[in-house]
Amino acid sequence: MSHRIGKRTIRLDNQVGIRSAAAVAGKKEGEGPLSKFFDKVYKDDLLGEETWERAESRLQHNAAECALAGAGMTADEIDAVFAGDLLNQCISSTFGLESFSIPFLGQYGACSTMAQAMLTAALLVDSGGLKNALAVTSSHFCSAERQFRLPIEYGGQRNLTSQWTVTGAGAAILSAEPSKIVVSDITVGKIVDMDIKDADNMGAAMAPAAADTISAYLSDSGTSAEDYDLILTGDLGFVGSELLCELMKQNKQDIAKQHNDCGKLIFSRTAQDVHAGGSGCGCCASVFCGYIMERLEYGELKNILFAPTGALLSPTSSQQGESIPGICHLLHIRRND
Amino acid sequence: MSHRIGKRTIRLDNQVGIRSAAAVAGKKEGEGPLSKFFDKVYKDDLLGEETWERAESRLQHNAAECALAGAGMTADEIDAVFAGDLLNQCISSTFGLESFSIPFLGQYGACSTMAQAMLTAALLVDSGGLKNALAVTSSHFCSAERQFRLPIEYGGQRNLTSQWTVTGAGAAILSAEPSKIVVSDITVGKIVDMDIKDADNMGAAMAPAAADTISAYLSDSGTSAEDYDLILTGDLGFVGSELLCELMKQNKQDIAKQHNDCGKLIFSRTAQDVHAGGSGCGCCASVFCGYIMERLEYGELKNILFAPTGALLSPTSSQQGESIPGICHLLHIRRND
């Protein structure tokens, strides 16, 4: 069972544990500052497959496989998988996970999809309907570039506010079994549209959604930023992160000390030429399932808010002159000490 | 709370009601046999908008508005909306629903999305986390044709096994309030891939998934086809429906008498030149929320299985020679007499 606290937050009455998590990443990510926190790093971004899309499917498959191995479980012990990605009709998830033969629920929240998958899984485990659920998301620089922007062969120059799609995937097993790390509360995001139309500046498009959800959660739970070791957004990058902290200040909540962003963490800004940071469904998934979970396990982090954002655009909507609506889903995750 | 019965089915312990449902449809659908069961029929398939994509968003918006009006509710009484569509990055849902400002969880299960949205909403209402949830999906012939196949101006000849994407949307409000019509059980589908590659024959690609899920539910619940007034698939159409009944016979379950399909019901095969029937996320959504809900309300139907199917392909996956995996989610819906 779960129950509402405040206006928009759901408190999980049972302890829903993150029993296992795994992150896999591509070559560039493996050369970045979080290198040692990935379960696997692939030197060949095709992962031995024939297409970038197949390679991205392989990332999801391998992340799920590592998470299962970490929990000492087989696929048939998982009651449902919640998965998504950025590709049209979420084909990375379909082709990456079909061989596991686990009941499948496709999720779409753009780069916030890992949070959506984890929170839905956590709620359904909490309700008693599922015992173990898997959340998986991925992105791949090459499949994303050619779908959303330009063929990579074209070598188009990138804007300084643009972000670099992470080649990576993360997988987490949510479970009714007692665990060291648990999901306590969740807040489902609203679509927030500030009429931003620059598809090369996703950080700006998503920051208002992050401010909306984080403010809602702090208000619903009667807490403030100081109560948390970390308030981690998904892929606002350098531009969006600054905007978020500004917006929160306007809401009279200063989160600058606690805030960080997966898009800022995954690459070195000075050494890796990624402009405004990392992005993609695989960004927050691989950073959370690798680096953050390890810090939670070792007790360096005890009590965090995980609040990935997504930009709900498509090439078609942008070509038709539509705005870029943002969304941000939040999970309160803590050590069960 | 909910609990598992059998291998894959979840029984909802509380009564989760379908408090209200509404269906809207385009011109061709309004000329078909279910005409009088739609809440609104639009003579102009652009619905006064400038693009087909905007028109599809408008369908979702209007269906949601009608469902809210039917329940005498406002958007701020809805705790979460579960929505999806066939367009890349699910833009019909984003742009159609953003103005309601309801916490939003994007769903992707291709043409099965309405079942996925309804079952997830039902489980979360059952768990206590949500009081009222909205499920909405749509499709539009013109936006789908140009995205998945050819520009409509091209006038390409259609294969006899191909189906006609429904211009329509359906919306249902799932609620903890006592209702005449309730969701009792759900079965989440697995991805079933029989290596079918003909994107002009979705019925054949999806029928094995329908057989898998329906068989699993009948086995888990210890029931047989005769226990139901209707076993309704989503858009197998004429070709896929025949295959499903054949596959079920091989499983020693004869469902031919109880089975029907939204893709067979929505158009007149003889008068409307739709070849193998209707399809799209709006097909099962508009048929269920209009025609079927009315028959349940009047007691002509009392106890049904609603099992929409989806084909998890994209134009990219098909162009790369991939197979077309299918999925089918099931809800057991009955009158609460």
The CA distance from B324 to the nearest CA of chain A, in Å, is: 10
User: A184 vs A18, B120, B130, B132, B337, CA distance in Å?
Assistant: 11, 20, 16, 22, 38
What are the tens digits of pLDDT across the range A76-92? 999 999 999 999 999 99
Which residues does chain B have within 8 Å of residue A88's beta carbon, measured at their own beta carbons?
88-89, 314-316
Q: What is the pTM of this model?
A: 0.98
Instruction: Find chain A residues with C-beta within 8 A of B316's C-beta.
Output: 53, 87-88, 91, 147
Comparing C-alpha atoms, which of B312, B316, B314 is closest to residue B329? B312
Query: Quick one: pLDDT band at residue A54, thresholds 50, 70, 90?
Result: very high
Cα nearest neighbour of B325 on chain A: A94
Q: Test B191 with A315 for CB contact under 8 angstroms.
A: no
Residue A273 predicted with pLDDT over 90: no
> How does residue A28 score in pLDDT terms, banded at 50, 70 and 90?
very high
Cα–Cα–Cα angle for A296, A301, A305, rounded to 5 degrees? 95
Q: Is the pLDDT of residue A152 over 90?
A: no
ipTM: 0.97
- The pLDDT value recorded for residue B15 is 84
Q: Write the residue in A88, A110, A314 that is nearest to B316 by C-beta.
A: A88
Question: pLDDT class for A156, splitting at 50, 70, 90?
Answer: confident
Mean pLDDT of B96-125: 98
pLDDT reported for residue A27: 98
What does the pLDDT read at residue A270? 92
Q: pLDDT of B309-319, one tens digit each? A: 999 999 999 99
Which chain B residue has its CA at the smallest distance from A316's CA? B88
How far apart are the CA of A112 and the nearest CA of chain B, in angstroms? 10
Cα–Cα distance measured from residue B296 to residue B312, given in angstroms and rounded to the nearest whole number: 30
Check if the beta carbon of residue A126 is closer than 8 Å to that of residue A186.
Answer: no
- Please name the residue of chain B whose CA is at the shortest distance from the CA of residue A93: B312
The answer to whether A89 contacts B314, with C-beta atoms less than 8 Å apart, is: yes
Burial B150-163 (b: 16+ CB within 10 A, else e): eeeeeeeebeebbb
The conformational region for residue A13 under phi > 0 = left, psi -120 to 50 = alpha, else beta, is: alpha
> pLDDT at position A151, please?
87
Which residues 6+ apart lie within 8 Å of B272 measured at CB?
Answer: B28, B31, B32, B164
B14 pLDDT above the threshold of 90: no
Contact partners, residue B80, CB within 8 Å, separation at least 6: A188, B102, B103, B104, B105, B121, B124, B130, B133, B134
Nearest to A122 by CA among A330, A336, A288, A337: A330
A129 vs B4: CB contact, 8 Å cut-off?
yes
Q: Give the Cα separation of B61 and B232 in Å (integer).
A: 25
A326: nearest CA in chain B?
Answer: B94
Of residues B2, B129, B188, nearest to A105 (C-beta):
B188
Which range has the worst mean pLDDT, A255-259, A285-289, B103-107, B271-275? B271-275
- Nearest neighbour of B325 by CB, restricted to A94, A128, A316: A94
Residue among B128, B193, B312 minimizing CB distance to A2: B128
Using 50, 70 and 90 to split pLDDT, how confident is the model at A337?
confident
CB-closest option in B98, B190, B322 to A103 = B190
Could B2 and A316 be called an inter-chain contact, meaning their C-beta atoms sit closer than 8 Å?
no
SS3 content of chain A, % helix, strand, coil (to 5): 40, 25, 35
Report the residue from B105, B316, B327 with minimal CB separation from A104. Answer: B327
Contact A191 B94 (CB under 8 A): yes
Going from the C-alpha of A195 to that of each of A318, A323, A324, B277, the distances in angstroms are 12, 5, 7, 40
Do the bridges between strand B181-187 and strand A9-25 make them parallel or antiparallel, or are there none, so unpaired?
unpaired
d(CA B268, CA A311): 40
Tokens standing for A241?
């992160």
3-state SS, B32-45, equals CCCHHHCCEECCCC
Identify the residue among B146, B317, B331 best suited for mutation to test binding to A, counting A beta carbons within 10 A and taking the highest: B317
Question: Would you give the end-to-end CA distance of chain B in angstroms?
Answer: 22
pLDDT for res A51: 97
Query: Residue B190: its pLDDT value, please?
Result: 98
Chain B residues with CB under 8 Å of A189 CB are: 103-104
- The Cα–Cα gap between A205 and A327 comes to 9
Pairing of strands A9-25, A40-41: parallel
Q: Report the chain B residue with the minimal C-alpha distance to residue A107.
A: B107
| B286-316 residue pLDDT tens | 999 999 999 999 999 999 999 999 999 999 9
When pLDDT is cut at 50, 70 and 90, the band that residue A275 belongs to is very high
Our CA-based measurement puts residue A214 at a distance from the nearest CA of chain B, in whole angstroms, of 13
Helix (H, G, I), strand (E, B) or coil at A94: helix
Compare CB distances from B8 to A3, A8, A103 and report the shortest one's residue.
A103
Q: Return the residue of A nearest to B97 by Cα.
A: A191
- CB–CB contact A325 B107 (8 Å): no
Model confidence pLDDT, tens digit, residues B118-177 = 999 999 999 999 999 999 999 999 999 999 998 888 888 888 999 999 999 999 999 999
CB pair distance less than 8 Å for A129 and B88: no
Closest CA–CA distance from residue A270 to any residue of chain B (Å): 32
Phi–psi pair at A221, nearest 5 degrees: -90, -5
B107/A108 touch (CB, cutoff 8 Å), yes or no: yes
The model's pLDDT over B190-227, given as tens digits with 9 standing for 90+, comes to 999 999 999 889 999 999 999 999 999 999 999 999 99
- What is the overall mean pLDDT for chain B? 96
pLDDT of residue B1: 81
CA–CA distance, A18 with A267 (Å, rounded to integer) = 26
